[in-house]
Every structure is written in C-alpha cells, then in structure tokens.
Structure 1
C-alpha cells in the first residue's frame, strides 16, 4: 500500500481476529514487519494461513508476556511498535455481576494491557522511536450501554493508564496513544444479526458501520513518524457515533 511504516517492526496482541486482525493487516500493508498473538492455537493457525507469524499468548500471564514479546523482538530484529489490542467484552448486568466476572475483564483488559506495555518497553526504547497504541473504546470514555458497566470501566481505566504512561515514557523516546472504536463490523458483532447491524448503522451519522481496517489505519498513523509529537491521546474512530445529542438529530440530516 505505502511505505509509511517501512523499516518498522510491530507486535499486535489479540491480532488474530476482529479489530486486531485489521490492525495487523494495515500495519503490514503500510510496510511494517508484523507478528501477532492470539489466545488459542486455532486462532494463531488462521493468522499463519494469512501470512503472519503468530504466537499463543494470554496477556493475563506476566511471565508469558515477557517471554513472547522478547521472542518477537528477537525474531524481528527489534521492536518499534506495540499494538496492545487483546481484550474481551462479555456482558453482565450489575446486579448479576460476580467477582469472577469483574476479575476476568479487568485482568485481561487492564492488567493485560499493562503487562504487554511493561514487557515491550526495553525493545521499544532501544528502537529509538517506540510507539504504543492501545485499543480502548468509546464505551466507558464517552458512552455507556446496559450490561457493559464493567467493560466500560476497563476501557476508561486504559485511558487513565495511557495518559500517565505517556509522561513516564516520553523522555525514553516512546509515545503511547489509544484508538477508541465505535461499532465495528467484527465477527462478534455480525453474530448479532442483520437487523441489529442495520439498527446500529442508523445510529451513526456516516450511515454505515466501520471495518477493522478503519481502526488499523488509525493505528498505522499513530505508529508512524508523522505522529511523533502525539502522546497520551485517544482518537475516536466511530463515524460520528458519539456526536448526536438525541436520535432525532439524525433525522435532520
């Protein structure tokens, strides 16, 4: 596609499916060497069929993050980009939410993000132009949705981490930013059925739902030299979804 990321080396956690796969494809299309991680061997096998080197990784495991990210950096000859995308979005109503529900989502979405960043810092600093991009969400930062209160809390926590981490990492030549997707056409969303997809598309001023590559394109920019002076920020990628004050506002278009 372009040489935007020529000579860059990248690791995408949760990069085998959905938004993560879109990120991996965009980074590769823009010239980066890319390795991805997935939660299962089946996921990784599919990514390998698509031409990626893929490792199994559960980001809840700090030691595994250290090992896999060091291995990826060694194979790539260094690491200049970390796309910390691994995450889950189970639903649970507040009154039914168990400690196990809370622990699971915080362990993956928040602790997993921190584990990946911690493990990648030495290689990113050594690259001289390290870039970290976290996949957060509009949910929890700008919007809410029933049964996703714990999910929204993790996504807001990620942004809190990004802002303070940006200060710590700036003098080490590393930027850290986030993308905040709206409704994106992932396999999980498609499983909800065409009627639901059509309803969601009607709530977006652009009139359609985004593709994983739309998120990937933003990650590619944040990973590039053109974003060298941007850090601690979150970019909303949602087709304008968070903008209307009321549903009736869209009727005026």
Structure 2
C-alpha cells in the first residue's frame, strides 16, 4: 500500500532513541522530510546520517519542556521546509512512586507528559489549518492506576485533550490520535523496568497474550499509517499497542 507520504514534512520529538528514533526512520523511508528533536545532539546526528537523502533531516537540539521551545521548534521547521504536515509527540516518561510521591515529581510529570506536547501542538496547529492538512499523534502510556505513577494522570489528560482537539480540528483536515505503548523494547523499558532477558520473558509469559515483548517497529508501523492521508477517517482515538495486555475492552 502506498501511504502517500512522499514529500510530507514530519516533526518527531524525543527522536534520539527508542520509539521516536524508529518512528522517524519509518517516516523517512516512506518519503517524508524530517525534523528530529531531542536533547542529545550526538544521537540525533547519528540518526540523521542513516536517513535517506530525501529526508533532508533537520536536527533540532532543545529541551522541549523549556519556555519558548515550542515556538523555536515551529520557527525552525517552517523556516526550513515552509510547512509541517505531521507532529509526533513522543517525548515523555514514566514516573512510578514507592509512596505518594512529592509534589515536584507530579508537577514535572505533568509538564513533560502533557503540557510540553500540548504547547508544541498548539504552536503548529495554525500552519496545519492554513494548509488544510495535519496529522498529530501523541505517544502516551497507560492511564490504568496499577500503582502510584505520576505519569498516569498526564496520560489521561492527553487522551481527553486530544479527543477535544480532534473534534475542533476535524473539518480542517487535521486528525489527532493517541497511541499508548505497552511493554515495548525501548531505552526506558530496558534500563528501568525490564533490564534483563529473563525479566522480559517472565513478564511476557505472565502478562502479554501474544507471549513476547514488542519491538519499536510494532508500534512504529501504526504511527506511520496514522500520519498518512490514508488514515483520514481515524481521529480522536486511543489505540493501544500492547500485545493484548490491556484487560478492559475499551
């Protein structure tokens, strides 16, 4: 299937590693021009060097939670490419707590997992509206409260905000969707949650109906499709990619 992505301009945040890096690569392979944002320049430069020349990669080194980062990024992308068709809000992180958690952790989790992506989106929406096309995909996470995790609340906030935004922007040719990953091999999962192959196998055997931990490509293919013109009738959705781990039906 031709995803009709050739020449589209995509911005991927948190692109230096893991899911963001894979999504950026897949979009570039489908013909997108690419802006990649993260804090670690050497990893962004390594990624840019592996992308096809047609991607014309724009490396943006910034902390997207900083004041003014959304506007700086918008200006850089529009200044280079003249448009932005796709935004993948990928940066974020889990914040599990052993107790209730201090106030500063909750505030930081809301900033990195909700407000920073919201500001980036709001900065780029006017340009998408002007061109009557846009694809916004938010990489979120579970809002199931298994334990006290400061990221659960902002994940839920993103899902609600994105649903409202999808209703407001639908007639402008802009779709807005959220994709919560399950356990998928990534920098965070491998380093913090399931650091050994034995741990991954045990968790998959107990929790994942398909029986294995997903790879970044398992999620990246869905995100790439949602970014395409082919996905024009899919908006306002929360689509889990978790091998069937989620226990409720909606």
When the two structures are superposed, what TM-score results if normalisation uses the length of structure 1? Answer: 0.87
Alignment deviations for residues 46-98 of structure 1 (CA, whole Å, 9 cap, x no partner)? 33333443211222234121111221122123111011111122322333x11
CA distance in 1, matches of 2:189, 2:92: 15
CA distance in 2, matches of 1:101, 1:49: 36
Provide the aligned C-alpha RMSD in A.
2.0
Is the 1:183–1:200 contact (alpha carbons within 8 Å) kept by the matching residues of 2? no
Alignment match, 1:195: 198
Alignment pair present for 1:115 and 2:119: yes
Alignment match, 1:251: none
After superposition, residues 1-253 of structure 1 pair within 5 angstroms as: 4-51=4-51, 52-95=57-100, 97-137=101-141, 139-140=142-143, 143-148=144-149, 150-191=150-191, 192-202=195-205, 203-243=207-247
CA distance in 1, matches of 2:3, 2:117: 28
CA distance in 2, matches of 1:159, 1:113: 12
Is the 2:83–2:127 contact (alpha carbons within 8 Å) kept by the matching residues of 1? yes
Alignment deviations for residues 192-237 of structure 1 (CA, whole Å, 9 cap, x no partner)? 2222211222121111111112221111111111211221111111
Is the 2:3–2:229 contact (alpha carbons within 8 Å) kept by the matching residues of 1? no
Aligned-pair CA distance for 1:2 = 5.3
Residue aligned with 2:239, SS:
strand
- Are residues 146 and 46 of structure 1, via their aligned partners in 2, closer, same or farther at CA, if it must alter by over 3 Å? farther
In structure 1, runs of 5+ residues without a counterpart are 246-253
When the two structures are superposed, what TM-score results if normalisation uses the length of structure 2? Answer: 0.88
Is the 1:80–1:130 contact (alpha carbons within 8 Å) kept by the matching residues of 2? yes
Is the 1:9–1:80 contact (alpha carbons within 8 Å) kept by the matching residues of 2? yes
In structure 2, runs of 5+ residues without a counterpart are 52-56
Is the 1:62–1:115 contact (alpha carbons within 8 Å) kept by the matching residues of 2? no
CA distance in 1, matches of 2:154, 2:99: 15
Residue aligned with 1:94, SS:
coil
Is the 1:25–1:213 contact (alpha carbons within 8 Å) kept by the matching residues of 2? no
CA distance in 1, matches of 2:190, 2:154: 23
